[in-house]
């Protein structure tokens, strides 16, 4: 049970981090690094306004493209030349008002000052979360200049997960980066397990 809750919350954290914009029209690329128990990986991120592309390799390569203008998210698997459509509500993270309400139910937000992360001034916020007997601290560092969370950390008693953008380059990103590759087959994802 504990592992399931931790895994669900980490998925929420990942969603928060990947897809959390605060309205800025930033255009940049960055390396994304996640560390944690059995989940270390590196990826690449492309941001152009509210369009986002994330490339991750965990066993196999996966590309996730968020297109709010089309109200969709594509999950793409280049090795198989397939893709799935995912509703952005699944991946939106704590920018989704429902997720923010969930955080308010299980924890309390605490301003934690300011800190520079990878050369960018960030506002730091922290939540003390209690879900049953499980206690966690979720901390995020948000850059107003880039309009994105640049680092997020989930701390449990004996474990810690961190996702962070590094090697940030403010540069023009081609619109083609956010398009679905041609010749890929649409597959329907299996239904989520009950419970």
Evaluate whether 56 touches 46 at the Cβ level (below 8 Å): no
Does some domain include residue 158? yes
Does some domain include residue 56? yes
Q: Which two tokens stand for residue 181?
A: 């590759």
pTM, full prediction? 0.76
Does some domain include residue 190? no
**pLDDT tens for residues 93-124?**
434 455 556 666 667 777 788 999 999 999 99
Does some domain include residue 81? yes
- Confidence grade of residue 90 (pLDDT, cut at 50, 70, 90): very low
Does some domain include residue 134? yes
- Number of neighbouring beta carbons within 10 Å of residue 68: 15
CATH code of residue 92: 2.50.20.10
What percent of the chain has a predicted confidence (pLDDT) above 90?
34
Q: Which two tokens stand for residue 97?
A: 């008002």
pLDDT for res 98: 57
pLDDT at position 83 over 80: yes
In sequence order, the 6+-apart residues with CB closer than 8 A to the CB of 80 are none
The pLDDT mean for the chain works out to: 78
Tell me the HSE value of 135 on the side-chain side, using a 13 A CA sphere: 3
Range of the domain at 147: 2-185
Query: How many domains are there within the chain?
Result: 1
Residue in the block written with tokens 């879900």 = 131
Does some domain include residue 192? no
């Amino acid at each position: 049970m504990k592992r399931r809750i931790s895994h669900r919350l980490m998925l929420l954290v990942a969603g928060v981090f990947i897809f959390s914009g605060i309205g800025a029209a930033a255009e940049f690329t960055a390396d994304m690094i996640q560390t944690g128990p059995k989940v270390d990986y590196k990826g690449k991120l492309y941001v152009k306004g509210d369009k986002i592309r994330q490339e991750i390799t965990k066993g196999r390569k996966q590309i996730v493209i968020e297109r709010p203008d089309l109200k969709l998210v594509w999950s793409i698997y280049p090795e198989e030349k397939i893709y799935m459509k995912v509703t952005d509500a699944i991946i939106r993270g704590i920018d989704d008002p429902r997720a923010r309400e969930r955080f308010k139910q299980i924890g309390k937000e605490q301003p934690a000052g300011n800190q520079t992360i990878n050369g960018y001034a960030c506002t730091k916020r922290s939540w003390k979360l209690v879900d049953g007997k499980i206690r966690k601290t979720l901390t995020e560092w948000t850059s107003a200049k880039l309009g994105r969370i640049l680092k997020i950390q989930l701390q449990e008693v004996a474990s810690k997960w961190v996702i962070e953008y590094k090697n940030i380059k403010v540069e023009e990103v081609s619109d083609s980066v956010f398009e679905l590759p041609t010749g890929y087959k649409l597959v329907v994802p299996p239904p989520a397990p009950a419970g």
